[in-house]
Structure 1
Amino acid sequence: MPTALLDLVLPPRCAGCGAPGALVCPRCTAELHGEPACRTPAPPPPGLPECWSATGYTGAVRRMIIAYKERGRTALARPLAGALALTIAAGADERPVTLVPVPSARPALRRRGHDPVTGLAELAAGCLRAAGRPATVAKLLVPRRRIADQAGLSSLQRVENLALAYKVATAWNGPQAAFWGDAERVVLVDDIVTTGATLAEAARALREAGVAASLAVTVAATRRRGRTGIRDGG
C-alpha cells in the first residue's frame, strides 16, 4: 500500500521523531518552524540571491524532508509548506510575490512519483493568500539537459553539474518576462540549500530571460563543515 494511503488508515506517527499521535508532533513542529532567517551559503556562488530558510537541515527536519521527498509521505507537504510560507513572509517585503520552484530532474520525478518542490510552492502560496498576502506560483524553469544527482558531490562538482542546467520554459520566454517588475517580488523556492549552486543556476536562467529573483527561500539550510558554511544574518 502506498505510504500516503498508510498515513490515512493507520494511527499516525510523527515523521520527525516517531512519536505516536500526529503526523508531526508539537515538538517537531517547533523545530520545523525554527527561526526564519537569512542563511546564505558562505562563500556564495556568483549570482546567488539572498537565501532565507526556516531552520537547519538536521534532526527531525531532515527526517521530515526525506520522508516527504523520497518515501512517499506526501501528507507532510502541508506542514513543510507552512514553514516555507512563514519564511517567505519574514524574508520578503510587502509586495505581492511570485514563487518560482526549482525544477527536479526528470529521473527524480519519475522515481518519486510527485514534484516535491512545486507542491510545496503551491501550498505555501495558498497559505500566504489565506493570510492576506497576494501570492502566485509560476513554473518558469525547466531542465535544459540531464542533471546528475547532487548528493555526495563536492562544491566544485555541484557547480559543474549545474552549469547551464536550467532554462525558462518556452511558454514564458520572451516579452512575457517583462510582466515581473518592481510591483512584484520574484522568489526562488527549493526545499534545501547546501552550497547554493542550484539556486544560483536557477537565478542565472531567470536573468537570461529578463526576470530578476533577488530572494531565494528554502525549508532548511545545510550547515557545511570546515572553514566555510552558512552565513547567518538578519
Structure 2
Amino acid sequence: MLELILPRRCAGCGEAGLMLCARCVRQLAGVPFRVTSPVDTLVPVFSMGPYAGAHRGIVLAMKERGNLAVRAYAGSLLDAALAHLEARGEIPEGAGLVPAPTRAASARARGGDPVEAVCRNAGRTTHAVLRLSHAARDQSELSAADRRANLAGRVQCTGVPPGSVVVVDDVVTTGSTLHASVAKLLALGADVRACVTLCAA
C-alpha cells in the first residue's frame, strides 16, 4: 500500500521502481581513480565517479532528499573502492576512516551526517573526530579562495585517530574541505594516507 501512495524511486536517476535501477547500479560499479583539485589536498585523492549521473543522484538523495536507505548502499560502494585501492597498493590495508566535517545544523537537517553514515555502513573502523565550528558558512556557493578562507581555523578535531587513516567526503570540488581536514589531522600527528570521495566535480 505504501508503494502505491509513495512509490519508491531510484536514488540515482529518479525512475520509479527499485531503490537503484539496473542502469544506475552499472554506473556506480566503476573503479576509483586519482583526481586533482585546485587546492592542494596534501595527500592523494581518489574518487569513485564524476559528479554526474548516478553518482550525483545518490549524493543528492542522501543530502537533500532524506533518502536514508541509500546510505547503506553507498557504504558498500565505499568498501569496494577501498578494497580496490588496497589491492593496488594505493592505501594500506585496514586504514581507519575519518569523515570530512560538516556543519552541525546541516547534519541535523539531514537526519545525521551522511558521510559519517556511509563510512559506518562500509563496515570499516570510523573515527568521527572532525567538526566545523559554528562560524563556518555553507560552502556550496563559495569560490575556491572563499572556501579556504571560510574553513581557516574552523576545522576542529576531538581526538587523534590511531594508525593509518583515509579521509572520506561525498564530493571533491575545489579540495578546500579535504585540505583543511588533512592539514588539521597532520598537524596533530595523525597518519593520513589518502582521501576518497563518492564524486569529483
TM-score (norm 2): 0.88
Q: Distance in 1 between matches of 2:33 and 2:153?
A: 29
| Corresponding position of 2:16 | 20
Partner of residue 162 from structure 1, selected from 151, 167, 175: 151
1:143-168 deviation per Cα after TM superposition (whole angstroms, max 9, x unaligned):
24421111121111111111122122
Q: Hey, what's the Cα distance between the residues in 1 that align with 2:49 and 2:74?
A: 11
Unpaired runs of at least 5, structure 1: 1-5, 127-134, 223-234
How many pairs are equivalent?
196
Task: Report 1:73-112 matches (<5 A).
Answer: 73-92=67-86, 93-112=91-110
In the alignment, the residues of structure 2 paired with residue 57 and residue 123 of structure 1 have an alpha-carbon distance, to the nearest angstrom, of: 21
**Which residue is equivalent to 1:56?**
50
What's the TM-score once normalised by structure 1's chain length?
Answer: 0.77
Deviations 1:31-68 (A, max 9, x none): 12333111222x342x5321111100112321221111
How many angstroms apart in 2 are the aligned matches of 1:167 and 1:101? 13
Aligned to 1:123: 121
2:26 pairs, out of 27, 30, 35, with 30
RMSD: 2.1
- Using the alignment, how far apart are the partners of 1:198 and 1:149 within structure 2? 12
Q: Per-residue deviation at 1:10?
A: 4.1
Gaps of 5+ in 2: none
Change (3 A) 1:24 1:192: same
- Residue in 1 that maps onto 2:192: 213
Q: What's the CA shift for 1:72?
A: 0.6
Change (3 A) 1:191 1:7: farther
In the TM superposition, what is the alpha-carbon distance from 1:70 to its structure 2 partner? 1.4
Aligned in 2, Cα 1:74/1:7: closer, same or farther, shift over 3 Å? farther
Moved over 3 A (4+): 6-11
